[in-house]
Structure 1
Amino acid sequence: MYKQFLSALEKAVISSKREIEDIELVAVSKKKTVNDIQIVIDQGHISFGENQTQEIESKWPLIKSNQPNLKLNFIGSIQSRKAESIYEHCDVIHSLDRIKIVKIFNKLEKSKKIIREYFIQINTGNEAQKSGVMMKEADEFISQCLREYGLKIIGLMCIPPVDDDPKKHFLNLKALADNFNLQKLSMGMSNDYDVAIACGATHIRVGTQIFGARN
């Protein structure tokens, strides 16, 4: 499945007149076993995504102990009591959305001297039940993060509403990132990654097309 998806990804990149080197494929391995993940690693993949700290703690120390060059991305909602575990295990965190969490990571970086990379999650659909900074608060939140805290904010992330055209959400995220000269865009999943790439995505988060359906 992995090689098949890479072929589809390459076609999407070419049709959007992008370069494959500019797109990072985050293989979303939630609910997948160490063996499932190792099969994809053995095919040359290095960037993976998880959204549950329990799964990260149970799987990834073992996986990374043998392959320290792997990159682990946290793509889920961040609970303050789990923030330290996320910081310890993950190289890139895609879902900053509260100043309380920003402060925790800032404190951890100062004490542990390990720099992580961060995306700010924007709730482009202004959905009450979903994580992310609401659009009307986005400018102030991004400004505050860049101005007051020493975190390495590399870009923005979004998850469009399931029943809406994702293109407008991706374009809104791109415009917002451009306003702050943020270069990276984490957007697009198994069902809309091609649209995201056409709209400027630099990181796509794909699970089922790589690993198959989750149990």
Structure 2
Amino acid sequence: MTHDPTSPDVAATLAATLADVRSRIARAAGGRRVELIAVSKTKPAAMVEAMIAAGQLVFGENRVQEAALKFTPLRIAHPAIDLHLIGPLQTNKVRDAVLLFDQIETLDRPKLADALAAAAEREGDLPHLLVQVNIGDEPQKAGIARAEADGFIRAMRARFGAALQGLMAIPPLGADPAPYFRDLVAMADHHGLPIRSIGMSDDFETAIACGATQVRVGSALFGNRPDSATPLGS
């Protein structure tokens, strides 16, 4: 979508696209509740406003600074927004992330856990947390390695208690995602974690069939973007 994001035509298109994606989610879920995270990274606030007007309140962003600039004013007008961090989190951005996000989906290393614990103590609050698992053991991707995941999840549950809500993963690009989705769901089941954030624009229906409780959809809602080759959260 390259037109003026404030135009009525674009707003109507976004609303129709949202309705279509929600309908597809509902059909795949078969009555089970699956939450749609609208991935708004790189998209202007006007597009987010149009999505809000159409009834979408859950959004995902990759970068703390971009999210702060975009969503701080939006939240004044729309305090019910539920904002998720779905991109890698640097330890020097943790305090800002804790203050801004309702859910951080990319907890993947002890140093980040230390920073989150310190920020939570300082601020007196902590968002919901998901452990990101490198489900395909890909060296270029973030996430805790599969061999270390069980021990790390147990340690994070002991450290953060009920704040640790689930797991997130991104399957290898070009591979059949279903086996990876099933592995992530089985891991969440093993640890008694209710949230399984898996599935993006090209495979969210497969993810739902495998047990996803949250899907991260960007390009199928907002259209392709210049960085669409980046797989995270699209």
| Range of TM-score over shorter length | over 0.9
Specify the SS of the correspondent of 1:76.
coil
Give aligned pairs, total: 213
Contact 2:28–2:208 (8 Å) recurs in 1: no
Is it true that 1:57 corresponds to 2:71 in the alignment?
no
Higher RCO by CA contacts (8 Å cutoff, separation 6 or greater): 1
Task: Quickly say closer, same or farther: Cα 1:73–1:45, change in 2 above 3 A.
Answer: same
- When the two chains are superposed, the root-mean-square deviation of aligned CA atoms in Å is 1.5
Q: Give the TM-score taking structure 2 as reference length.
A: 0.86
* 42 and 8 in structure 1: CA distance in 2 versus 1, 3 angstrom threshold: closer
Q: Take 2:196 and 2:28, find their aligned partners in 1: how far apart are those partners?
A: 19
Alpha carbons 1:119, 1:154 under 8 Å: kept: yes
Q: Which position in structure 2 is the counterpart of 1:142?
A: 153
1:45 and 2:49 matched: no
| Offset of residue 149 of structure 1 | 3.6
Task: Verify: 1:86 aligned to 2:97, yes or no.
Answer: yes
Q: Which runs of 4+ in 1 moved over 4 A?
A: none
Distance 1:128 1:204, change over 3 A: same
**Offset of residue 8 of structure 1:** 4.1
What percent identity do the matched residue pairs reach?
Answer: 34
Give 1:183's aligned amino acid.
Answer: P
Alpha carbons of 1:24 and 1:12: their partners in 2 closer, same or farther (altered >3 Å)? closer
In the alignment, residue 30 of structure 2 is paired with which amino acid? Answer: K
> TM-score, structure 1 length as denominator?
0.94
Superimposed CA distance per residue, residues 182-203 of structure 1 (whole angstroms, 9 cap, x where no aligned partner): 1110000000000000011111
Instruction: Please tell me the residue identity of whatever aligns with 2:220.
Output: Q
SS at match of 1:130: coil
Distance 2:17 2:70 in 1: 26
Q: 1:12 to 1:151 in 2, by over 3 A?
A: closer
What are the ranges of 5 or more consecutive residues in structure 1 without an aligned counterpart? none
CA distance in 2, matches of 1:15, 1:89: 32
Asked whether the 8 Å contact 2:34–2:213 carries over to 1, the reply is yes
Q: How does 1:9-158 map to 2 (within 5 A)?
A: 9-19=22-32, 22-150=33-161, 152-158=163-169
Paired amino acid for 1:7: D
In structure 2, stretches of 5+ residues that fail to align are 1-13, 227-234
**How far, CA to CA, are the matches of 1:183 and 1:150 in structure 2?**
13
Verify the 8 A CA contact 2:171 2:177 in the aligned structure 1: yes
